[in-house]
Amino acid sequence: MKRQQFQHPYLPYLLVAPQLAIILVFFVWPAAQAVYQSFRLEDPLMGIGEFVWFDNYASVFDDRQYAVSFVFTIIFSTLVAFFSMAIALLLAVKADGILHGESAYKVLLTWVYAVAPAVAGIIGTFLFTRNIGPLYNLLVSTGWTFNPQVNVFDASFTVILVSVWKQVSVNFIYFLAGLQGIPVAVREAAKIDCKSELRRFWTITLPLLAPTGFFVLVINVTYAFFDTFGVIDTMTRGAPAGGTSTLVYKVYQDGFLGLDLGGSSAQSVILMILVLVLTAVQFRFLERKIQY
Amino acid sequence: MKSLRTLAVAAAGLFAVSGSAHAATEITFWHAMGGQLGETVNTIAKEFNASQSDVVLTPVYKGSYEETMTAGIAAFRAGEAPNIIQIFDAGAATIINAKGAVKPVAGLLNEFGTKFNAEDYIAGVRYFYADKDGQMIGMPFNSSTPVLYYNKAALAKAGVEAPKTWEEFEVAAPKLKAAGYVPLSQSHTPWILSENFHSRHNLQMANDENGFDGVATEIMYDNPNMVMMFTKLKSWMDDGLYGYYGTKWNDNQKPFIDEEVAMWLGSSGSFGGLKASAKFDFGTTYLPYWKSVISEGQRTFIGGAALFAMSGKTDAEYKATAEFFAYLTKPETQYFWHRETGYVPITEAAYELAKSDGYYDANPDAEVGIQQLSLDGGEWTKGYRLGYYVQIREVLQREYDKIFSGATSVPDAFKAIKEDSDKLLERFAKTVK
């Protein structure tokens, strides 16, 4: 067999160059800057400072608030990813089975996708406003002494609820598309073989939906880590007691608001490593179990 | 071809016109005054430009205080800093300690304008953005101070007077509660009940002369008076005598507007907004103090922001900047700013003008802030200059939240405040050379 070869060996490099340039300029260079900055302690204006090796990392791990933020981020991300995926899957399965007026359901379930996280946060703020917000009043009427301004649990509840609500629609779109991609022949064969709808879901639908589910999981973890920033900034700003400050929000507070460039760079490098590890774990251990 | 020639002629004409107009020096002014405040800044800029032909000032709104500061810093590092930038109180240490980043106002005025005289400025604003010798580094711009607002009808119903001291508050509060009110709330615990607590009682806040003489590395918030104040606040809250509605300004102001809370500690600059939103008659008085700590309450600190002249500019631009500062501190300009925004006038002359104009006869509440800033001062009422103070305020808010939710005890909270703040100050000190 004859191997196909380009006549000019540098043509392929030329063709991928624009893509590489984008990656270098927008991803590699800023990440390298963050790593460099994380080893320095300097004043933000004159840039006078010193190389401090791992001092910034040491003070991050020495910061009691960082531990709080870390634990909150893990709990928050797990809950947001789990609930937004579970609810979306349920809605997608139900919407998939609808015969009449299905597009109306689809439109109604997807349009929240168009809402920006910050706007979702502002809507959430209105809904939970003391004495006026409908959801505030609803929760208080159940006998819950609901006080998100002071109580960390209550405040976490509000940001998780809004973050889940915001993400359900995106997940719904993917799950619905995934469901519709399952061949009709397979479904019908399953229907003949098995009467129980629930059993059919667990044994046929879910495994066939796994590739979609895996992809959705990866984007949901990223969403919970990074894109919920807008929700938190507009709703709680990390309060009360720093209890709703995610790791990303803390990077913003220390770096952008507080101008501690070294400290916040160290935090973002840690965050970068954390997300890399998380994604690697997902690909390594989960993806193996999935049949495409 | 013909059209091309017309274009060239037109362009040449345009250059000729703009050339003659551009004998004036252009300077930019980045600020954080949004909404109505921004309109007032624009009016001042427009009138300044119309008042003379040498300088054209362009004000640019850059978002919140933090956004303005970050934008200014990024621009400075890129060599494209504005001539004037507005920096807020908590960020002052960062810009002042960055040696060579700004041209001190006193020096700027001496060199390029009229001679700087600290005595021209009212006592409470004179030192806050100055160096330890009283030479102004930043020009105080929008200055306010914490005051007590009270619902007149609520106090009359309970049969009490507005408290001058916390001791008087302790007597009045149960009566207000009996009359169906939460007696008190306040909107900024770090500013009102921490920083200004020290100023009002003439207590030291940090080492190195509150950070004026060098770079402070030790905070002194964990003093017995602060522990006493917050132990009282917590017990008042438990008894229904104090309402704590979290860390957001409006969340604490709203119950006062809704007549749920009888008295509210806010900013002297809140006056205009309150007048528009409160549907009841309210009065204004000084921030209460503890008679047990000091026999007579001292003057308070200013909050708000100051204008800084960025370095690395031409002499013509410095001269233009000095000219704008001179215009800004004119009594008429200050009086206009005071009336429109509720911020205090920063010069004695402007204060005199407002008085002689009869402004305070019609609006006695508008004078309370400046009167409080003109009270007697002591060693510790000049101000404070602390690095990473934005983060320190965050630490304060966090621990206060824990006190009021019952998650921690008052002494433990202040222990944590001391430890975390000192770590931050120490880190900041390393960035200063």
Q: What is residue A95's predicted lDDT score, i.e. its pLDDT? A: 87
At how many degrees (to 10) do helices B224-238 and B389-405 cross? 40
Please tell me the total number of residues recorded for chain A in this structure: 292
B430:A50 CB<8 A: yes
CATH class assigned to A64-289: mainly alpha
A50 touches chain B (CB under 8 A): yes
* Residue A113 vs residue B180, higher pLDDT: B180
Which chain B positions have a beta carbon within 8 Å of A253's beta carbon?
391, 394
CA distance B143 to B146: 10
Nearest of B350, B384, B387, B382 to residue B366 by alpha carbon = B350
Q: What is residue A6's predicted lDDT score, i.e. its pLDDT? A: 62
Q: How many CB atoms lie within 10 A of CB A58?
A: 12
CATH number attached to the domain at B146-300+387-431: 3.40.190.10
Contact by Cβ (8 Å): B380, B205: yes
Strand order in the sheet with B146-151: B182-186, B261-267, B146-151, B282-285
Q: Angle CA(A177)–CA(A181)–CA(A184) in degrees, nearest 5?
A: 135
Q: What is the pTM of this model?
A: 0.91
Q: The tokens of B240 are what?
A: 């229904």
Cα torsion B355, B357, B360, B362 to 10°: value is 160
Q: What is residue A101's predicted lDDT score, i.e. its pLDDT? A: 80
Contact by Cβ (8 Å): B399, B416: yes
Which chain B positions have a beta carbon within 8 Å of A65's beta carbon?
395, 398, 420
B101:A46 CB<8 A: yes
Place of tokens 């920096």: B87
Place of tokens 């899957």: A89
CA distance B425 to B196: 20
Do B2-144+302-373 and B146-300+387-431 share a fold? yes
**Closest approach of chain A CAs to the CA of B322, in angstroms?**
23
Q: The tokens of B370 are what?
A: 């400046």
Mean pLDDT score, A50-63: 94
> Kind and range of the H or E element at B412?
helix B410-431
Q: How many CB atoms lie within 10 A of CB B205?
A: 24
Q: How many CB atoms lie within 10 A of CB A78?
A: 12
CA distance A37 to A26: 17
CA distance B253 to B278: 10
Q: What are the Cα distances from residue A284, in Å, to A218, A228, A280?
A: 12, 26, 6
A59:B402 CB<8 A: no
Whether the ω angle into residue A240 lies within 30 degrees of 0, i.e. cis, is yes
Which residues from B are below 8 Å from A when comparing CB atoms? 66, 69-70, 73, 76-77, 91, 94-95, 97-101, 244-248, 251, 254, 258, 388, 390-391, 394-395, 397-399, 401-402, 404-405, 407, 416, 420, 423, 427, 430-433
CATH class assigned to B2-144+302-373: alpha beta
Contact by Cβ (8 Å): A96, A176: yes
Quick one: pLDDT band at residue A2, thresholds 50, 70, 90?
Answer: low
Q: How many CB atoms lie within 10 A of CB A181?
A: 11
Which chain A positions have a beta carbon within 8 Å of B404's beta carbon?
150
Q: Angle CA(A106)–CA(A116)–CA(A220) in degrees, nearest 5?
A: 70
For residue A284, pLDDT over 90 is answered with: no
Quick one: pLDDT band at residue A287, thresholds 50, 70, 90?
Answer: confident
A239:B76 CB<8 A: no
Q: What is residue B17's predicted lDDT score, i.e. its pLDDT? A: 44
Q: Buried (b) or exposed (e) across B20-52, using 16+ Cβ within 10 A?
A: eeeeebebbbbbbbeeebeebbeebbeebbeee
Quick one: pLDDT band at residue A4, thresholds 50, 70, 90?
Answer: low
Domains of chain B, residue spans: 2-144+302-373, 146-300+387-431
- Over chain B (433 residues), the average pLDDT of each successive run of 10 is 48 45 85 93 97 96 95 94 96 92 95 90 92 91 96 97 98 98 97 97 96 94 98 98 96 96 95 90 97 96 96 95 96 95 94 96 93 94 95 97 96 97 95 84
B398:A65 CB<8 A: yes
How many Cα atoms are found within 13 Å in the side-chain-facing hemisphere of B132?
9
Mean pLDDT score, A47-66: 93
Q: What is the largest CA-CA distance in chain B?
A: 90
Query: What ipTM does this complex have?
Result: 0.90
Contact by Cβ (8 Å): A225, A73: yes
Contacts 24+ apart (CB under 8 A), B76-83: B76/A45, B76/B101, B76/B310, B77/A45, B77/A47, B79/B312, B81/B310, B81/B312, B82/B27, B82/B28, B82/B29, B82/B30, B82/B310, B83/B27, B83/B28, B83/B29, B83/B309, B83/B310, B83/B313, B83/B317, B83/B320, B83/B321
Which chain B positions have a beta carbon within 8 Å of A47's beta carbon?
77
Q: The tokens of B88 are what?
A: 């807020």
Which chain B positions have a beta carbon within 8 Å of A149's beta carbon?
245-248, 251
For residue A49, pLDDT over 80 is answered with: yes
CB pairs under 8 A between A and B: 107
CA distance A245 to A74: 11
Q: How many CB atoms lie within 10 A of CB B62?
A: 21
Partners of B313 in the β-ladder: none
Q: What are the Cα distances from residue A31, in Å, to A35, A55, A227, A252?
A: 6, 19, 18, 16
Q: How many CB atoms lie within 10 A of CB A245?
A: 26
Q: What is residue B132's predicted lDDT score, i.e. its pLDDT? A: 85
* Residues ≥6 apart with Cβ < 8 Å to B382: B127, B128, B130, B210, B212
Q: What is residue A249's predicted lDDT score, i.e. its pLDDT? A: 97
Helices (H), chain A: 11-23, 29-38, 55-62, 64-96, 102-110, 117-127, 134-141, 152-180, 184-193, 197-200, 206-222, 229-235, 247-251, 261-281
Q: The tokens of A52 are what?
A: 């401090």
A257:B246 CB<8 A: no
